[in-house]
Amino acid sequence: MRLILVLLFLILFFIISIPLFIIEYIIGKFSHRAKVASSQKIVVWAFRVILFISGVKYTAIGIDNVPKDEAVLYVANHRSYFDILVSYVTVPTLTGFIAKKEIRKVPFLRTWMEFLQCLFLDRNDVRQGMKVILQAIEQVKNGYSIFISPEGTRSPGNEMLPFKAGSFKIAEKSGCAIIPVSISNTEAIFENQQPWIRKAHVVIEYGKPIYPKTLEKAQLKSLSTYVQGIIKDTLDKNDSLVKY
């Protein structure tokens, strides 16, 4: 039943997106940042509705750790399609996600993501991947945060795939803070019983900012492993907070 309700809402949202796209286009003529901000509010509203319909409750920890006056690089583990929904309704900054290129083929969703400064990555094309990283660095310098899952694909449970080191160049080259993001139990919503949606309790925690320039040489050399270790420790800690 929840799956059907989510699909019906998505159809309705895509229909109302047509006039909204026109409004956002007009706003963008006057202020690009205002367009990004208003688009993010609309998408966050839609994601909140989907989470409500899906029966998802979430506990957000550490949002105060995120600097509000600067762009950051959010680095998260990846368990579920629902990671992006829970993340977007809790991030306190204007944020674009780095997503796999296949999502760009989805009508309406592609347009909203472009409005939100999202970038599309071809995981099999190293040259294109470097181009995306360079675009992300510029976006951070222009005041837009970037959210990335360095595993590159979803992993089950607490066992994470190795983090791709290239993702961290965004922070190293722009000088922005890295915010470790630990997301627990999103796989219980959909992936554990595909294609059905089940109610679940999710815990998302934003860690303290990590500025690469303040790290010791050893930590900087193994930055991806260092950040992944922080996320792993937080996931282990938050397992006990998951209610169902």
pLDDT of residue 158: 64
Q: Is it the case that residue 126 has pLDDT exceeding 80? A: no
Residue 4, SS3 per DSSP = helix
Cβ contact 150:168 at 8 Å: yes
Q: Is it the case that residue 224 has pLDDT exceeding 80? A: yes
What are the residues whose beta carbons fall under 8 Å from the beta carbon of 144, sequence distance 6 or more?
A: 36, 71, 94, 95, 96, 117
Q: How confident is the model at residue 42 (pLDDT cuts 50, 70, 90)?
A: very high
Q: Where would I find the beta strands (DSSP E) of 70-186?
A: 72-76, 95-100, 119-121, 145-148, 177-184
Q: Closest by alpha carbon to 84, among 74, 167, 143, 101? A: 74
Q: Tell me: the pLDDT tens digits for 43-54?
A: 999 999 999 999
Global pTM?
0.94
Return d(Cα 138, Cα 218) in angstroms, integer.
27
pLDDT of residue 134: 93
pLDDT of residue 157: 59
Name the strand (E) or helix (H) holding 7: helix 2-30
Return d(Cα 114, Cα 123) in angstroms, integer.
19
Q: Is it the case that residue 123 has pLDDT exceeding 90? A: no
Q: Is it the case that residue 66 has pLDDT exceeding 70? A: yes
pLDDT of residue 86: 97
How much is the average pLDDT of 185-205? 95
Mean residue pLDDT of the chain comes to 93
Return d(Cα 92, Cα 63) in angstroms, integer.
7
User: Which region among 22-31, 35-44, 69-78, 211-220 has the lowest average model confidence (pLDDT)?
Assistant: 211-220
pLDDT of residue 118: 96
% of the chain surpassing 90 pLDDT: 78
Cis, bond preceding 195 (omega within 30 deg of 0): yes
Domains and CATH numbers, the chain: 2-241 (3.40.1130)
Q: Are strands 200-206 and 177-184 parallel, antiparallel or unpaired?
A: antiparallel
pLDDT of residue 169: 93
pLDDT of residue 166: 86
pLDDT of residue 162: 86
pLDDT of residue 41: 97
How much is the average pLDDT of 185-191? 95
Main-chain dihedrals φ then ψ at residue 84, nearest 5 degrees = -65, -35
What are the residues whose beta carbons fall under 8 Å from the beta carbon of 95, sequence distance 6 or more?
A: 40, 74, 88, 116, 117, 144, 145, 146, 147
pLDDT of residue 156: 63
Show the DSSP H helices in 31-158 as ranges. 32-54, 83-88, 109-115, 126-141
